[in-house]
Structure formats: C-alpha cells, structure tokens
Amino acid sequence: MNKGTVQKINQMEPWLGEEEKRAMIEYLDSGGWLTEFEKTKEFERMIADYTGSKYAVTVNNGTISLIIALMALNIGYGDEVIVPDFTMIASANAVTIVGARPLLVDIDPSNLCLNLGKTKELISPRTKAIMYVNLNGRCHDMNETVALARRYNLYLIEDAAQSLGSRFMGKHLGTFGDIGSFSFSYPKVITTGQGGALVTDDDELYDRIKKIKDFGRPQSGVDYHETMGLNSKFTDLQAVIGIEQMKKLDWRVNRKKEMYRLFQQLLKDIEQIKFLPTNLEDCAPWFNDIILEQEGIRDELTRFLKERGIGIRPFYPAVHTQPPYAYIKGDFVNSEDVSKKGLWLPSSSFLTDEDIERVCRTVKAFF
C-alpha cells in the first residue's frame, strides 16, 4: 500500500521497515547478542515508561504472559477466574492451561468488555481473579472495575493485548490491576514478530514474574529453582525491532485514531452500520470495528468485500461456542449477538486516506 499498490487492502502492516532492518544489522555488526540482554532491558524500560508502570518484563508472546501472570499470582487447580465470553481465545486458554477454571461472563455490548453486573453474580469463594480484557482499546470506568475486584478480594489481571496506546482518563490500560499483559505478536499495535510483556508496580510480583520466565530460578546460569517456571525469555534481536517499533508508536496511535474517525465519517449515512461509542481522546482502536445490526448481512458484506480484494475479518466467535469450552453453559446473549454481527474493517496504520475511501465506497456500493 505504501509502496504504491492498492490491489489488495488488508489488515497487514509492512512492519519490518528500513529502520528495523538497519537497527538489526547494526546490532549484529556490533557483536550483539541473540538472547535476552541489554537491548531487552532497554525495550522493557521503554514499555514501562510508556505505560507508566514501575516494571515491564518481556516474554515470548501475549498468551505466555497471561499464563505467567496467573502463575505469579499462584492461581491454579481448584481456582476460578472470571473471563469475558467475547475475547481472543488465549485469555480463556491461559486460565485452563494453569489448571484453573474460566468462569465465562457475558459482555457489555456498548464496549465489548466484561459485564461487571453479571460478574458479581458468578463470584464464589473459589474465584481468585478477574481477567479483564481491554478489547480493542476500550474499557469500562476502570475505577469501577478495580473497586469490584477489591470488594471481592480478587486479583485483577488486565489482558491489554489489544490496547497498547489506549488509556482510561489518561492512565494507560493494563496498569489498573495487579498485572497487565501486552502482546507484540503480528499484527498488533507494535510487533516484534511474536512477543509479549507483563507490567506491574508490585516489587514481589515483578520478582516472581522474572523467575517464572526463567525456569523458576532467581539467577540465570544457576541451577537452583526456587519456583515452578517456564522458559519464556525474549531475545535481543526482537528487542532491537521492538525499540524501533516503540519509536513509531505515537505516530501509529494517532493514525489509528484518524483512521477510525475517517471510517466513522464516511460510513455515517449507512443506517445498518453501527459504531461503538469510542472516546478517541483515550482509545486508539487497534481494529476499525463495526456492528451490522441486520441478521445475516455481516456475512454477505464479508463475502462482497473479500471478492473485491478487501481484507476484512468477522469478529471472534463467542468463547463458549468453541469446542474446548462447549462444556460451559450460561446466558451469553451479547457475546453471541456481536460475534454474529461484528466486522473488523481494514486497519493497518499504513492504509492511506484514499485506501479507506475506496473501502468505504465499496461498502456503500454493497448497501
């Protein structure tokens, strides 16, 4: 697209730019390390500073970071964790993988995040944590979410995989709870190919997270394992890419907001298309999401756009409809509804205004 081709308009970022390539070559030429070392520390400091966290710890992806968050909080067999029924499957999988049980809760249709009222109804003495997913940079009043967790003595883990660059009242998402989790897997707001990070302000949790990602040992190279652990270390080569990506983050966040505004403006006359309430002061939508109220029209539009080379993606299915979670029954009216009606329009920050105009013209032609 930025190379002059508008044959296909899709969601993909040509993320490995000249800056990343140059930085990798320079780093290797300087005798740089492949494994986690100084560049990883520098990248972690950038994430901590950007999000306003005391600590950031990088890991190999945003699924492992959720698993480590749960392990750091000693959540496992016999425990329950509240998870929204509409999220990328990794949120629920992380809970299952540590041996705990995800308690799926319906979402609030106004922001696609966990329904706090319904959450209260499910909390039991076995419930240890809320995994709040800041889906697509949106959230509730996060002070209410924190208050709910505190009232019931639950840990709050924020799955902010989709929310780098998004805030609530100026405070970065992922920093309200005990631990926040980010993903840098392609194509996220920034990417290191695969990658993830945990943020926390808690000294003890930071210490545990660092040990868990390194086989449970307090120090690398020492074969004493204080706690159960994984090998989820990052690499300096990824960190070199991440550092360059972080330099582009402000630009990307602004572009995401501009793009969302432009889609809203160009599609505002199509009655069947609904945009979710989105405060663009704080929220940088990772994907340009729309809801098509009329039953069946989402799938017809999807086909129509795909046939014309426009890369769009229907919303995730509700988690309880996926085979590993089919055992969970409940009232999931909103997650079921949006998963049938939601569509992610092309969202790469490299789309030009002309690309977006073409997408919108094609959407209009459909209607």
Ligand X SMILES: Cc1ncc(COP(=O)(O)O)c(C=O)c1O
Q: Is 91 in the site for ligand X (CB under 6 A)?
A: yes
Q: Which of 174, 196, 229, 285 lies at the binding interface for ligand X (CB under 6 A)? A: 196
CA distance 309 to 5: 12
- Toward ligand X, which CB reaches closer, 109 or 196? 196
Q: Is 51 in the site for ligand X (CB under 6 A)?
A: no
Site string for ligand X, 152-171 (x = CB under 6 A): -------x-xx---------
Q: Which of 28, 88, 262, 297 lies at the binding interface for ligand X (CB under 6 A)? A: 88
HEC assignment per residue over the chain: CCCCCCCCECCCCCCCCHHHHHHHHHHHHCCCCCECCHHHHHHHHHHHHHHCCCEEEEECCCCHHHHHHHHHCCCCCCCEEEEECCCCCHHHHHHHHCCCEEEEECEECCCCEECHHHHHHHCCCCEEEEEEECHHHCCCCHHHHHHHHHHCCCEEEEECCCCCCCEECCEECCCCCCEEEEECCCCCCCCCCCCEEEEECCHHHHHHHHHHCECCCCCCCCCCCCCCCCECCCEHHHHHHHHHHHHCHHHHHHHHHHHHHHHHHHCCCCCCEECCCCCCCCCCCCCEEEEECCCCHHHHHHHHHHHCCECCEECCCCHHHCHHHCCCCCCCHHHHHHHHHEEEECCCCCCCHHHHHHHHHHHHHHC
- Toward ligand X, which CB reaches closer, 90 or 179? 90
- Toward ligand X, which CB reaches closer, 32 or 182? 182
Stretch near ligand X under the rule CB under 6 A, chosen from 88-96, 144-152, 226-234, 268-276: 88-96
Q: Is 87 in the site for ligand X (CB under 6 A)?
A: yes
- Toward ligand X, which CB reaches closer, 188 or 358? 188
Shortest gap between Cβ of 102 and ligand X (angstroms)? Answer: 13
Angle at 193 between CA 174 and CA 63, to 5 degrees: 45
Three-state SS for 45? helix
Site string for ligand X, 97-136 (x = CB under 6 A): ------------------------------------x---
Q: Is 12 in the site for ligand X (CB under 6 A)?
A: no
Residues numbered 53-72 forming contacts with ligand X, rule: CB under 6 A? 61-63
Q: How many residues interact with ligand X (rule CB under 6 A)?
A: 14
Stretch near ligand X under the rule CB under 6 A, chosen from 42-50, 87-95, 246-254, 294-302: 87-95
Residues numbered 284-343 forming contacts with ligand X, rule: CB under 6 A? none
Residue nearest to ligand X (CB): 62
Shortest gap between Cβ of 240 and ligand X (angstroms)? Answer: 19
Shortest gap between Cβ of 194 and ligand X (angstroms)? Answer: 6
Q: Which of 9, 59, 90, 328 lies at the binding interface for ligand X (CB under 6 A)? A: 90
Q: Point out which residues bind ligand X (CB under 6 A).
A: 61-63, 87-88, 90-91, 133, 159, 161-162, 183, 185, 196
